[in-house]
């Protein structure tokens, strides 16, 4: 649980629910408990693999950083070999689960794994690493829609872009803590490349885009007033996290990163699902 920070699943998992029930709501496909459970298996396995691989690959860097030296591998709680084995097992579970879903999900499973695992390398050569993380998380609503329909649609892509911009933006805020360390050790991040003030402006821009893409599906499908309440809450929490963090005061980064963003995704998903029930 601590190796993969299981609690952080709260970021993308609500949007997977949105993608799944979007497909059920807007197509002729009916709810399937089997597919829903397989979707959950895929979400958990892919995230476990991505996080464990990140901890495995960054183990030497984490050992040098006082903030991350307490993580499981550098602290000696879990061996690097076991973390890598855990990654491989979860990759296998993910691919196996997609095999029982449909052909498209199975054929695309290596692509999805490549994206979520490749992120771990990006901080070594590009400050755009935050957006690569965002792409990985943004696959959640798109993949969940594919589980039900075995086909693509523009609306889950909108949600995927919203998640990409949202998670990329809050990862920039989180990376402010390691700005000096990254510069000292030649690691790439937007705060290390542009500085704290500009990095926060970039994060703000990404969150504006995220808000717009959360709103955009309302022009492509029927939504009710509960949906718009969810959008308002989502936007408010995006604004709030930028109000409590500044380049000179990072004391509330954890609140902005974990609490605020976790609440934002859950609240929006709840209002989305309530809106579906209300419309039906």
Domain, as residue range, for 161: 6-279
End-to-end CA distance of the chain: 38
The answer to whether position 111 is within a domain reads: yes
Q: What residues pair up with 246 in beta bridges, in sequence order?
A: 249
The answer to whether position 1 is within a domain reads: no
The whole-angstrom separation of Cα 200 and Cα 221 is 33
The answer to whether position 224 is within a domain reads: yes
The answer to whether position 247 is within a domain reads: yes
The answer to whether position 157 is within a domain reads: yes
The whole-angstrom separation of Cα 45 and Cα 182 is 29
CB atoms within 10 A of CB 76: 7
What does each of the 280 residues of the chain score in pLDDT, given as a tens digit? 666 666 666 778 999 999 999 999 999 999 999 999 999 999 999 999 999 999 999 999 999 999 889 888 888 899 999 999 999 999 999 999 999 999 999 999 999 999 999 999 999 999 999 999 999 999 999 999 999 999 999 999 999 999 999 999 999 999 999 999 999 999 999 999 999 999 999 999 999 999 999 999 999 998 999 999 999 999 999 999 888 888 777 777 776 666 788 889 999 999 999 998 876 5
Residue 261 sits in a domain of what CATH number? 1.10.357.140
pTM: 0.93
The whole-angstrom separation of Cα 241 and Cα 238 is 6
- Nearest CA to 269 among 219, 229, 240, 241? 229
- Supply the Cα-derived Rg of the chain in whole angstroms: 19
The answer to whether position 102 is within a domain reads: yes
Provide the number of structural domains found in the chain: 1
- Nearest CA to 120 among 198, 54, 204? 54
């Amino acid at each position: 649980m601590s190796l993969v920070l299981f609690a952080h699943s709260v970021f993308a998992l609500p949007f997977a629910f949105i993608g799944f029930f979007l497909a059920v709501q807007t197509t002729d496909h009916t709810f399937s408990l089997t597919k829903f459970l397989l979707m959950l298996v895929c979400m958990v396995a892919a995230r476990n693999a991505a996080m464990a691989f990140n901890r495995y690959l960054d183990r030497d860097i984490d050992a040098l950083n006082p903030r991350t030296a307490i993580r499981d591998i550098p602290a000696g709680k879990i061996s690097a070999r076991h973390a890598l084995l855990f990654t491989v097992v979860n990759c296998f579970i993910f691919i196996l689960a997609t095999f029982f879903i449909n052909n498209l999900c199975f054929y695309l499973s290596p692509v999805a794994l490549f994206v979520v695992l490749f992120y771990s390398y990006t901080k070594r050569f590009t400050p755009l690493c935050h957006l690569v993380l965002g792409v990985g998380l943004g696959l959640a609503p798109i993949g969940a829609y594919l589980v039900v329909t075995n086909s693509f649609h523009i609306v889950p892509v909108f949600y995927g872009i919203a998640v990409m911009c949202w998670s990329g933006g809050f990862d920039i805020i989180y990376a402010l803590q390691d700005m000096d360390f990254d510069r000292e050790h030649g690691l790439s991040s937007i705060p290390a490349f542009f500085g704290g003030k500009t990095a926060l402006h970039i994060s703000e821009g990404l969150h504006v885009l995220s808000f717009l893409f959360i709103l955009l599906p309302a022009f492509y499908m029927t939504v009710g007033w509960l949906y718009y309440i969810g959008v308002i809450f989502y936007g408010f929490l995006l604004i709030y996290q930028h109000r409590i963090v500044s380049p000179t005061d990072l004391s509330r980064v954890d609140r902005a990163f974990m609490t605020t963003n976790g609440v934002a995704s859950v609240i929006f998903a709840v209002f989305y699902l309530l809106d579906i029930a209300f419309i039906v």
